[in-house]
């Protein structure tokens, strides 16, 4: 699950950067930023609900 969230964060980051670089596509940067924040929030909620703390190596 964490790998999927990391891939989505990378994809949204790429969309944001492409949108910011290409002139006239500000809407792509906005959509990428919104999706990046939504995915980060979802990942934080999902990872925080099942764990009580960081466990070290066994």
Quick: pLDDT tens for 8-55: 899 988 888 887 777 667 777 788 889 889 998 888 888 765 555 566
Cβ atoms of 16 and 29 within 8 Å: the answer is yes
Check whether 57 has a pLDDT greater than 70: no
Instruction: Tell me whether residue 51 is in a domain.
Output: no
Domain of 39? 2-45
User: Given this model, what pLDDT does residue 49 score?
Assistant: 58
Whether 50 is covered by a domain: the verdict is no
Domain-located, residue 57: no
Side-chain half-sphere of 57: how many Cα atoms within 13 Å?
Answer: 0
Domain for residue 22, yes or no? Answer: yes
Total structural domains within the chain: 1
The answer as to whether 26 is a domain residue is yes
Cα 10 to Cα 1: distance, rounded to the nearest angstrom: 14
């Amino acid at each position: 699950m964490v790998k999927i969230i990391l891939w989505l964060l990378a994809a949204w980051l790429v969309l944001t950067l492409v949108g910011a670089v290409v002139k006239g596509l500000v809407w792509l940067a906005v959509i990428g930023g919104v999706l990046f924040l939504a995915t980060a929030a979802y990942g934080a909620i999902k990872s925080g609900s099942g764990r009580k703390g960081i466990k070290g190596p066994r």
